[in-house]
Every structure is written in structure tokens, then in C-alpha cells.
Chain A
Amino acid sequence: MLTGKAMTSRIDKRFAQCRAEKRAALVTFIMAGDPDAALSLDILKALPKSGADIIEVGMPFSDPMADGPAIQAAGLRAMRAGMTLKGVLAQVEAFRRDDADTPIVLMGYYNPIYVYGVDRFLADAKAAGVDGLIVVDLPPEEDVELCLPALRAGVSFIRLATPTTDDRRLPAVLANTSGFVYYVSVTGVTGQKRPDYSKVATAVRRIKAHTDLPVAVGFGVKDAAAAAEIGANADAVVVGSAIIDALARTLDADNRGGPAAVAAVSKLVNELAAGVASARR
């Protein structure tokens, strides 16, 4: 079976650990190379210490169709500072030298991976210590492109389920998903609308009726209070744009940053972790 190796994965272990602590996992997103490679690696390394359980690392793309202004701007800053897909993998590799346990999930769009070459990318990603992929523009209809090769290579392929994914479609969305399911709490782009918590709780229950995989919830989670609300029902809470905003506020007019950026991100992630931890008390 394609999922045969999954029981030993970093992602599974981390979810088991959080379950034992009776809390949801905190998943944090940063854009690789934002605002430059050196500073984004510092931020990446600081995330687990601040309470991030799983890290999503954004792969910059020129045309981020599903992202709101915060993540669009982060991608632009990263590309202007020279970040490439190869550079993203180098960041993960550098992170892995000090951290063998925190799961890393790459998130982005398909074209840079397609151009890099799917097989070569999967081999390099696996070697760098990547645990999973979230590729926004690859629905189940295009599974032969990357999802199935990734599962064969032992890299989890984490699918997005959304408010428009009805019960008829849900089994197809879940079929080749591994690691966890990412429930997009609103119809929209990242970091814009605030989710309706009661609807999210219902949606999480609906998805759990179809799968044993953990369900993470993201899009529009901005602060500790929101993280606590979502964390009461979901297995993980994903925060992206709010972290990017905290980082961006520390940058100067030329988008240069320093230790203040690491401190600002760490402070917010600490708060979010406390919010998630308080959720089920």
C-alpha cells in the first residue's frame, strides 16, 4: 500500500504526541526566503522553540492565485531576494541539521515543481528532509501529476478540502491524501475572511466521518483567540498570513529585516501555541 510507511512518519508521530497532550497541533506557515534567505532560515529555526508543532514552508510563485495580499507580498519579497525552488530545499536541508523531528510541509503551486522535474524534485525534497506537500492547484483530478509519484516516493500529499467539497466529492479528495487533511475554513484566498467557528466544527466532524486522518483547519486564523476556537475541534490549527504580517511589520522601506523579525514571529507563535493549548481545558 502507498501509505504503508506512513506510521513511522514525522507527521504521524507529531500528531500522536499532540493527542497524548490532549491538544491540537499548531501549524505555522512562513514563506521561504522572505525577506531574504538568511533571515528566513533564522525564523524557521526559531519556530519549534516558540511552539510550532508542524511547519509549512511556502515555495514562492509569480502567480499565487489562491493567496491574499500578505502571502502574495511575501512571495514577491522572497523572489526579489533571489529565492528559487532549489533554494527552498536548501533551507529545509539547513533546518534539518538541527531538528530531526519537526515535520516540514512545502506549500505552493505546481509550475515550479513541474519545471524542476517531478521525480528529481521528489528525490531532492525527500533527501532534504521534506515530509509532505500541499500543492494548491492540483485537485484529485490531476493525481497522476504529483500526488501518486509523491506517495510512491514516501512524501505525504496533503489535500485541501473546502466548504464547496460536498459529501459526494469528499471520498475522492481523501482517497490519496496522507499525513493530514487541510480544511480550508472559508471560500476565499488566504488571510482574508474570518471563519464561522460553528460551521468549521460541523465541517471537521463531517470530514472525520470519512477518514481517520487528522484534520487541520486554516485560512483566516489571525490570533490566539481564533486559534483556541478552532483548536477546540480540529486536530491542528494552521496560521499563515498573520505570521507574515507580524514579520512584514518589522521590515524597513527596502524590505530589510533583522532580529526584530525573529522576535515578532516568535512572540506571535508563542501566543498562538498558548491559545491552542488552552482550547480543550
Chain B
Amino acid sequence: MTVLASNSLRQGPDARGHFGIFGGRFVAETLMPLILSLEEAYEAARRDPAYHAELRGLLTHYVGRPSPLYFAERMTEHLGGAKIYFKREELNHTGAHKINNVLGQILLARRMGKSRIIAETGAGQHGVATATACARFGLECIVYMGAVDVERQKPNVFRMNMLGAKVVPVQSGARTLKDAMNEALRDWVTNVDNTFYCIGTAAGPHPYPAMVRDFQCVIGDETKQQMLELEGRLPDSAFACIGGGSNAIGLFHPFLDDASVALYGVEAAGHGLEVENGHAASLAGGRPGVLHGNRTYLLMDDDGQILEGHSISAGLDYPGIGPEHSWLKETGRVTYLSATDKEALAAFQLCARLEGIIPALEPAHALARIIEIAPKMPRDHLMVLGLSGRGDKDLFQVADHLGGM
């Protein structure tokens, strides 16, 4: 394991799961003993070489890691500034970064003797990854998905069914991702003996934010090594989209102590940050609150009621964000920007035409900011996009928006 300097930004969270004032364990008493035993099991697994070897084997032979770091030559030429690389998580099995985390958690569930896996999903990518891993290991899988998302992400619902998972459309609240998470928590509190809750992003009660981050750090660790091999030095900047923020924290974390690497998280600005309840940018438009087990930036009204948020991307319209991002915003180490639905759609099309890669709408948000910033940078500026998922799931929705294509 890497030894960290005492002033390292990579040491969090503390023993109580706090990143500064963020994080924590805000859950019902029924779940508290489960969370403590999960923490214990994860600490034991972290120290067990056999666990790491099994996970590494799966990442190599089942997921197809390492994912390439690809020089986006035509995008670079077109923008006329920074040299742009894509970290191609969309080439992973199941088409997104989600599988990195799911395999880590499923191996842990097996070690803990849990036979029933539950998960929440928004766009369906985490649900598909969980259903996939459960099929691979013969585990029962129940995926909670907001009824609204079930409608707008039909292909992923079909994939999950095909993989043997039971998809439960959630009718409560706003019927999107946050309500799916509420319903998963209700399931967990009811089925405490045999159930493992596989959370899809770096949020929730401790130890989830740290654990999911650790599993996703493979993105940043590989990027670092690949860039050193290709260019002989570290990148100058890295960009990633943020819903809950797991792909972003995975890309950023290994670079936190490398002060020369500028890090940019891009939230979903939906119809625009100025439109009330029209975006999903928790950091830009929210404030600290407590939801789903952790303190973090949340979109809410003056009474502390959580707002829905909007984004064209079902994977980004969560009204909160992982607690470590809230802390990184306050420390200033990561710069948080946003991109609107329209900007993401434009980036989506440009990427398809110039690179022959159809990105998911989520990373298209990060690409939108690159399109703006890259031209202002010198030719020797090395810029990385975390291309977190592929866009097949979004094609029908994009067609709807573009109309008449």
C-alpha cells in the first residue's frame, strides 16, 4: 500500500467517516450494526491479498481492464489547443465505470455470506452492472429504479431482466433516483439478515463513500501510469462528470497530491443554473444538509425538503453528491463547473462525428467544458476526459431532443 505524507489530501475519511464536516453515518438504528459489520468486513478484505488478487483477476479477464488511455486526435485538432486524451471506461464490460465498484462490493458480499443483493439505479448503468455481477456469481438481485427512469431507460431495464435481476419500479416521491435509494434503504432495513446493499456511487453512510472511491481509484491509477508511459509525465488537467461522483472521485483521487494536475468536476446544469429546480448541480446550487446517510451538498428548499433536480441525463439528476466532493470543493483542490443539457447534447454529437465514439450523456457534460477550455490551452497541455460510459442507452432520448434527425 502507498504511504501517504501527513499533509496528504488522500487520507480521508476519519474513523467516524468524516471528510471535514461532510460524510458521517446518518442512518436508522436498525442499519447501524449492519454498517459497522460492513466496515469491519471491508477493512479485513483490504488487508487480504487473496481478496485483491480475486478482484484484479476479474477486472482483467471479465471487465477487460486496463481500459485504454486514447489520444483523441481529431478532437484535439478541431479544438486547436490542449492535447486531449479519453480514459475509456465506456469500453468496460457493461459499458461504464460502474462495474469496477460492483465487483468489489459483490466479492465483499460473498465474504460476508450474504445471498441477496439490492441496488438502486438511475440511468440503469449501476443496475446493469449489479445484475451482471449477480448473474456471474449466482446471487439473487433486486434493483430499485424510479418509475420515471424505468420509462426513459427502457433498454437497460430489459438488460437487467435478461440478466435475471428483478427490477422494482419505485412509485414513491418523485419516482427517480433519490426515491429508488429510499426504497432500497427500506428493503435493507426489512431484510437485515441476508441482504447486502450495493450502493452505486461514492455516497451514503460511511464506509460506502470511501469504499466505492477505493474501487473506482483504478481509473485514476491506470490513467497516471498510462500517461507516464505515453507522455513521460503527468497530465496537466483531468475532467469528469458528477452525479453522485464515483467516476470523478476515482479519476481524481490518485492525483489529489499532485498539485500540478488541475482537476475539474462537471455537474449537470440542466435547463440552466438560474432556473429554479431546473438543474442537478448540488455544489453550485445547493447547500450542506443530511440525506441518505451522509452530510453533503444537497438541492433543497428553505424548509430542508429535498428537491428533485433536473438533467437530460438520468445518471446525473441526483439532488446530492458524494461527501468527499463537498469537502474537495471547500478545500478548493477540485474546481467544480457545470454544463447544460444543450451543451451536453452538442458535445455528444461532436464526439460521435469526430472520434467515432458515442459517449453517454453523462461524460458529454464533462466534454462540453473541455470544448470550451481546451482551445485556450497551449498545445503541450495534456488534458484527460474521464469517458465514464457509452451512449447506446441514450440514443432514443437524444433523437427525441434533436427531433427530425
Contact = CB atoms under 8 A, between A and B. Distances in A.
Do A and B belong to a common assembly? yes
Interface of A: 60-66, 68-69, 72, 76, 79, 84-86, 109-116, 136-142, 159-166, 169, 173, 184, 187-189, 192-193
Given A63-B306, A169-B33, A72 B189 contact: no
Q: Which of B26, B34, B182 has the most CB of A within 10 A?
A: B26
Nearest to B308: A62
Contact of B29 (A60, A111, A113, A162): A162
Contact of A163 (B30, B291, B303): B30
Interface residues of B, number: 36
A112 B306 CA distance: 9
Given A63-B173, A63-B182, A114-B304, A164 B30 contact: yes
Contact of B30 (A69, A141, A142, A187): A187
21 contacts: A63-B291, A65-B182, A65-B189, A65-B292, A66-B28, A76-B173, A111-B290, A111-B300, A112-B305, A115-B302, A115-B304, A116-B304, A136-B28, A139-B25, A139-B27, A139-B28, A140-B32, A160-B30, A164-B33, A164-B192, A187-B189
A173 B29 CA distance: 9
B47 interface: no
B29 A160 contact: yes
Interface in B22-41: 24-34
Interface of B: 16, 24-34, 172-173, 178-179, 182, 185-186, 189-192, 289-293, 295, 298, 300, 302-306
Given A111-B300, A142-B26, A188-B190, 10 more contacts: A64-B182, A66-B28, A66-B186, A68-B186, A72-B173, A115-B304, A139-B29, A187-B30, A188-B30, A189-B186
Contacts of A110: 26, 290
B32 A141 contact: yes
Given A164-B192, A193-B190, A65 B28 contact: yes
B9 to A, nearest CB: 25
Question: From DSSP, what is the main secondary structure of chain B's interface residues?
Answer: mixed
Contact of B16 (A61, A112, A113, A141): A141
A194 to B, nearest CB: 13
Contacts of B298: 111
A195 to B, nearest CB: 13
Contacts of B293: 137
B190 A137 contact: no
B303 A115 contact: yes
5 A-B pairs closest in CB distance:
A115-B304, A112-B304, A188-B190, A62-B305, A162-B30
Q: By CB atoms of chain A within 10 A, which of B30, B182, B290 has the most?
A: B30
- Select the residue from A61, A115, A165, A184 with max chain B CB neighbours within 10 A: A115
A111 B304 contact: yes
A113 B27 contact: no
A85 B32 CA distance: 26
